[in-house]
A and B are shown apart, each in its own frame.
Chain A
Amino acid sequence: MIKASVQPNDGLIVVRNIVKSFGRLLVLDNVSLAVEEGKTTVIIGPSGCGKTVLMKHMISLVRPNEGEVYFKGERIDELNERQLARIRVEYGFLFQMGALFDSLSVYENIIFPIQQHHKITDWKAIDELVKQKLAMVGMDGFQMQFPSNLSGGQQKRVALARAIAMDPNVIMYDEPTTGLDPIRSDVINELILKLKRELKVTSIVVTHDMKSAYKIADRIVMLHEGKIIADGDADHIRNHPHPVVEQFIEGKIGEADLAALRHGGTKFQTQYAKDDFK
C-alpha cells in the first residue's frame, strides 16, 4: 500500500487519512491526497471503487468517518451547511447525469446558483452572462428549453455551464464522458481543457475512460479497493508496473472473471457454419 503524508497546506484541496464506510462496506481506507491548484487531477479506478465518494468528500457532500478534509488550508469536513455555503460557491460540480433541475428551464438552471447567493437587479447583465456561459459550452440559443427536451450530451454541457456560472476556482467532473458517444466525449474533453485554459481553474475529474484521462490529465491517481495504488502523470500510469493498474488501463478481463464466465457458460447457437463466411 502506498502511504502518503500530506499537510493541510500541501494543495488547494487536501484529504488526509480519510476512512469512509457505508454500513459494513468499507469504501475508502485511509486515503490521503493533495490536489494542486490550477492542475487537472484525474481519479481513475474500476466502478464502485470509491472515486465519486472521494471527490464528494472534497466538497463535503459526504463526510468521512475518520480523517480530515481541507480547502485552502481550512478544515471543511466539520463545518455545518451554512458555513459550507461560503466554501461551496468556489466549486462547480458536474454530476454524472447532469442533475439539471427538470422543473426549471436551461436559463433558470444556470441562474440558480447566482440567484441563491446574490440579489439580481440587473437582468440584462444576467441574460448576457447566461448567453456567455452557454456559448462556452456551445449551447447558446437553448435558454428556454427544458432539460427533458435535450439529449444526454446537451444536458451535460448545460450542466457544465451551470457549474461555471459562479466562476468557480475548482470544477469537479463526475464521469463526464460516461454515456456519450466517442465524438461527444471528445467535445466534453475539449471543453474541460478549454475551461482550464481560459478560466485557469483547478479540475478534479473522476472517470474510467482512459482515453479521456490521458487527454486531460496533469496527474492521474488510481483508486483500487478503497486505496490509492498509483499516482503520476499520464506516461507514468501508462507504463505502471502494478498488474492491477496495467490490467485496468488496458481494459483486460481478469483470469478470475474469465473463469466465472466459462463456468456460467457463454455457449450460443449460430445459424452459420464457419465455412459460410469464406
Chain B
Amino acid sequence: MIHSIGVKTIDGVANLGRFAIFATRAHVVSLKSCFSPKSYSLIWAQMNIIGVHSVPVVMVTGAFVGMILALQAYGQLASMGLEEHLGVLINIAVVKELGPVLAAVMLAGRVGGALTAELGTMNVTEQIAAVESMGTDPVRYLVTPRLVACLLLTPVLIVFADLLGIAGGYFVSVIQFGINSRAYIDFSAQGVELWDLGTGIVKGFFFGGAIAMISCYKGFTCKEGAQGVGQACTEAFVGSFMTILGLNYVFAVVAKAIYSTFWPVQSLL
C-alpha cells in the first residue's frame, strides 16, 4: 500500500510539473502571439466560438441566479421588515461570488469540455503530430488562440452574467413581490461598491486562464481511443471546477486583505 501511495504521489507531482511547464510555455507563446498579426485570425475565430456562442447560456445562468436569490431571501427579510434591502443582498452575491463562479463553471462545462474533446481527438488521430511535423508549433497554433480567447472573454461573459443576475433579481423583487423600485435601486447602489464589481470581473481573467490551460493540457495528453478522450473530458471538467472553487477562495482572501489594508474603516462597517 505504501508503495502504491508513493507511486501515485510521484506521478501526481510529475504531472503537476509537466502541467506547469506546459502552462508557462503557453503563456509565453501567447504573449508573443498577441504582437503577431498572423495569429489574430485564429484568435478571432476562437473568440467567436468560446465567447460569442457562450453568451446565451451564461446570461440564462445569471438570470436564474438573481431570480432564485430574490425568491429565497424575500421571506427572511420581509419578516423583519427589511425587504427593501433585498437588492443589496442579491446584487452583492451576484457580482461578487455567484455571477463569476457560476459563469466560469458554465464555461468549464461548455467550452472546457469542447476544447478537451477537440484537442484530444486531434491528439489520438495524430493531427497534433501532423501540425508539429509541418514545422508549426502546436502550442502556438492550437493552444494560444484558445487561451487568449478564454483570458479576454471570461471577464466579459461575467459582465453578462452579472447584468442578467441583477435584472433577474430586480424582476422578481419589484415585479413579483412589489418592492418599491426606487428604494430597491437606492439601497443596492449604496451597498454594492465598484470594488465588489471589479473583483468579480478580475476573477474571470484567472478563471478563464485556468479553464483554457487545464482543458488544453488534458487534450494534449489524452490517452488513445474513445475512452481516453472521454476520460480526458471528465478530468478536464472536474479539474477546472475544483480549480475555479479553489481560486475563488484564494482570491476572496487576497481581495479581503487588500481591501482592509486600503480601506480599514469601511471593512469594519
Residues on A lying within 8 angstroms of B by beta carbon are: 56, 59, 61, 81-82, 84-89, 91, 93, 95-97, 99-102, 112-113, 116-117, 166
Residue of B122, B133, B136, B139 near A59 (CB, 8 A) is B133
| Bound CA–CA A116/B133 (angstroms) | 12
- Complex interface: chain B residues within 8 A of A56 (CB): 129
| Bound CA–CA A88/B135 (angstroms) | 5
- Complex interface: chain A residues within 8 A of B125 (CB): 97, 99, 102
| Bound CA–CA A75/B125 (angstroms) | 29
- Complex interface: chain A residues within 8 A of B136 (CB): 85, 113, 116
> Are A101's CB and B137's CB within 8 A?
no
> Are A112's CB and B134's CB within 8 A?
yes
| Bound CA–CA A82/B141 (angstroms) | 13
Range class of the B interface residue count: 10 to 19
- Complex interface: chain A residues within 8 A of B133 (CB): 59, 61, 88, 91, 93, 95
Q: Is B132 an interface residue (CB 8 A)?
A: yes
| Bound CA–CA A86/B135 (angstroms) | 7
The chain B residue with its CB closest to the CB of A172 is B133
Residue of B126, B135, B139 near A85 (CB, 8 A) is B135
| Bound CA–CA A59/B132 (angstroms) | 10
Jot down 30 A-B pairs with beta carbons below 8 A, ordered by A: A56-B129, A59-B133, A61-B132, A82-B137, A84-B135, A85-B135, A85-B137, A86-B135, A88-B132, A88-B134, A91-B133, A93-B133, A93-B134, A95-B129, A95-B130, A96-B126, A97-B125, A99-B125, A99-B130, A100-B127, A101-B122, A101-B127, A102-B127, A112-B134, A113-B134, A113-B136, A116-B135, A116-B136, A116-B141, A117-B135
Given A99-B129, A116-B136, 20 further pairs, Cβ under 8 A: A59-B133, A61-B133, A81-B132, A81-B137, A81-B139, A84-B135, A85-B135, A86-B135, A88-B132, A88-B134, A89-B134, A89-B135, A95-B126, A95-B133, A99-B130, A101-B122, A112-B134, A113-B134, A116-B134, A116-B135
| Bound CA–CA A159/B126 (angstroms) | 12
- Complex interface: chain B residues within 8 A of A112 (CB): 134
Please give the distance in Å from B211's CB to the nearest CB on chain A.
21
- Complex interface: chain B residues within 8 A of A84 (CB): 135
Query: Which of B122, B126, B127, B133: most chain A Cβ within 10 A?
Result: B133
> Are B126's CB and A113's CB within 8 A?
no
Please give the distance in Å from A217's CB to the nearest CB on chain B.
22
- Complex interface: chain B residues within 8 A of A61 (CB): 129, 132-133
Please give the distance in Å from B149's CB to the nearest CB on chain A.
16
- Complex interface: chain A residues within 8 A of B130 (CB): 93, 95, 99-101
| Bound CA–CA A61/B136 (angstroms) | 12
- Which 10 pairs across A and B sit closest by C-beta, in order of nearness? A88-B135, A85-B135, A99-B130, A93-B133, A99-B126, A113-B134, A116-B136, A95-B126, A81-B137, A89-B135
Interface residues of B in 92-140 (CB under 8 A from A): 122, 125-127, 129-130, 132-137, 139
| Bound CA–CA A117/B135 (angstroms) | 8
| Bound CA–CA A200/B141 (angstroms) | 31
| Bound CA–CA A112/B130 (angstroms) | 11
The chain A residue with its CB closest to the CB of B118 is A103
The chain A residue with its CB closest to the CB of B124 is A97
| Bound CA–CA A195/B17 (angstroms) | 44
- Complex interface: chain B residues within 8 A of A102 (CB): 125, 127
| Bound CA–CA A184/B40 (angstroms) | 41
| Bound CA–CA A173/B135 (angstroms) | 17
| Bound CA–CA A112/B137 (angstroms) | 13
